[in-house]
Amino acid sequence: MLSDWLRRVSRGILDPLAQAACRIGLRANTITLLGGLLNLVVGALIALGYLPWGGLLLVLAAGLDALDGAMARRLGPTRFGAFFDSTLDRVSESAVFGGLLWFYVAQGKPISALLCIAALAGSLLVSYTRARAEGLDVQCKVGWFTRVERSIVTIVALIFPVVMPYALWLLAVGTWVTAGQRVWHVYTQVKNEPLT
C-alpha cells in the first residue's frame, strides 16, 4: 500500500522533526488542530479560485498530518488523540471538497460540482467503513484509495488545475470502489456471525 511505503520513506524526515517538536513542548493534538485549521484555509482559497495556492498549502497540511502521527508515536498515542485526529481528517477533506464544490458552482459547471459531492461522500464512506469495521474488531485498511492516495491526487490536480476534471472522476469512482472493497473485506471476515 502506498501509505505504508510513504511512511517508511518519510520516517527519516519526520522522526527528527517530531523529536524537536516534542522537545520544545508541542503536543500532537496541537499539530492536529493546526493542520485542521490550515485545511480550512485551503478550502477557502480553493473556493475563491486560487487552486494552485490551495494545492501548495495542502502539501504543508499533509505534512502536519504526518507529523502529528510521528509525535503521537513518540509521546505515546492516546485514545482521544486518535479520535481527534480522525475527526479533523474528515473536517479537512470536507473543507477541500467543499471549496471545490463552491468553485465549480460559481463557475456554472454542474457535472464537476456533482463529482465533488460524489468524491466527498466516497471519501467519508472509506473512512466510515474502516471505523465501523474496527468497531467490530475487524482490521480494515484495504482498498486502493486510502487518504494518502486521495491527498496525492488532490494536491497534483490543484497545483495543475487542467487535470482537475479527470482527477474528480478518479476520486469519485476510486473512493466508492474502495468503500466497496472494504465492505467486501468485512463480509469475508464476519459473514453471518451474530452481533454480540
Cell of 186: 468485512
> How long is the chain?
196
Q: How far apart are CA 81 and CA 132, in angstroms?
A: 18
Say what the pTM is.
Answer: 0.90
At residue 119, the pLDDT reads: 97
Helical spans, DSSP H, in the chain: 2-23, 28-47, 51-75, 79-106, 110-135, 147-159, 164-190
- Local confidence pLDDT in tens for the 196 residues of the chain: 566 666 666 677 777 888 888 888 889 999 999 999 999 999 999 999 999 999 999 999 999 998 988 888 888 889 999 999 999 999 999 999 999 999 999 999 999 999 999 999 999 999 999 999 999 999 999 999 999 999 999 999 999 999 999 999 999 999 999 999 999 999 999 988 887 7
Neighbour count for residue 152 (Cβ, 10 Å): 14
Q: Which domains are present in the chain?
A: 2-190 (1.20.120.1760)
φ/ψ of residue 178, rounded to 5:
-65, -40
